[in-house]
Amino acid sequence: MIVCTSISQFREERARLLAASETPGSLGLFPTMGYLHAGHAEMIRIARKENRLVAVSIFVNPLQFGPHEDLERYPRSPEADEQLCRLLDVDLLFMPSIVEMYGQQPVLSSVHVGMLGSHLCGTSRPGHFDGVCTVVAKLFNIVMPTRAYFSRKDAQQLRIVQQMTRDLSFPVEIVAGPIVREEDGLAISSRNAYLTASERSIAPRIAQTLRTIQRRVAQGERDVALLQREAVHTLEAYEGIRVDYLSFVDPDTLQPFTTLVPGRETLCAAAVYVGKTRLIDNIDVRAPASTEYTVTARGKR
């Protein structure tokens, strides 16, 4: 595995590795903010199966954090991340500094995401998806991947990146990956590290509530307002839990539904504060539960 910290070094190594291959090969990119966990590992394994070369980027992107968010304290573990990437047979690990990515000057050009970024997480994190798309566009230009991997864990991000790729004609195939969960159902996230022991014990309620909604819809419930009320009531009965949003949306337009239509694809997406930690999760409430690909893992890896 080659570890690159500069854009020029990455470009040189990429060209060298591709030139060394006898047949023209594909390059899969998995962009991350590091503190790698079992969810990231599964995505890397998928990319490994589908590409001749695999690149992972680790960059805590300041542009996607709001002024009062957790940029400074976002968890980091560069040595462990590097070790895991080696273990998973990654070819190129790109770990640039902020100055390497954005220079010393303020960033003057950025990608602007339209209406797909204005609600759900966009409401409480204004500008977040502009920051995500700006760094993803830069990574696409630096890495020039054949495919790029994004998990359904961040469903709105995945949809927005798909749209940006189409709108800006990046020659990149966006591959959607699974949500990897802990054994108790909690979607694995680097931010789970913020949870105290008692917060960690109630955090699985989020996934359990989404499953309950999925079951209620499968049994015929169609009243979105009722399902929302019930879910918020169940979750907020736990001290320390506060629902930021819990919405039923069209997975394509991300527009909210007020009623559920049988057979119509519907995503139930939620952002929930557990203590001060904001966690997100989602579930497809039309498909049967068995379509969700779940890998369980204990602990951080």
Q: Are 140 and 150 in contact (CB under 8 A)?
A: no
Report the catalytic residues: 40
Interface with ligand AMP includes 281 (CB under 6 A)?
Answer: no
Interface with ligand AMP includes 209 (CB under 6 A)?
Answer: no
The CA-to-CA distance between both ends of the chain, in Å, stands at 20
Interface with ligand AMP includes 129 (CB under 6 A)?
Answer: no
User: Which residues have a Cβ under 8 Å from the Cβ of 274 and sit 6 or more positions away?
Assistant: 195, 199, 202, 203, 206, 240, 241
Total of chain residues touching ligand AMP, rule CB under 6 A? 17
Strand partners, 176: 150
For ligand AMP, the binding residue among 27, 44, 133, 188 (CB under 6 A) is 188
Interface with ligand AMP includes 179 (CB under 6 A)?
Answer: yes
For ligand AMP, the binding residue among 180, 246, 270, 279 (CB under 6 A) is 180
Closest CA to 132 of 122, 119, 144: 122
Q: CB-wise, 224 or 280, nearer to ligand AMP?
A: 280
Q: Are 158 and 174 in contact (CB under 8 A)?
A: yes
Q: What is the token pair recorded at 131?
A: 């920051």
For ligand AMP, the binding residue among 53, 84, 187, 283 (CB under 6 A) is 187
With CB under 6 A as the contact rule, which of the stretches 77-85, 145-153, 217-225, 254-262 interacts with ligand AMP? 145-153
Q: CB-wise, 78 or 216, nearer to ligand AMP?
A: 78
Within the chain, residue ranges assigned H as helices are 7-20, 38-50, 78-87, 98-102, 121-124, 128-143, 155-167, 197-202, 205-218, 224-236
The mark string for 76-95 relative to ligand AMP (x by CB under 6 A, - otherwise) is: --------------------
Closest CA to 109 of 168, 163, 183: 168
Instruction: List residues binding ligand AMP (CB under 6 A).
Output: 32-33, 39-40, 42-43, 150-151, 153-154, 177, 179-180, 187-190
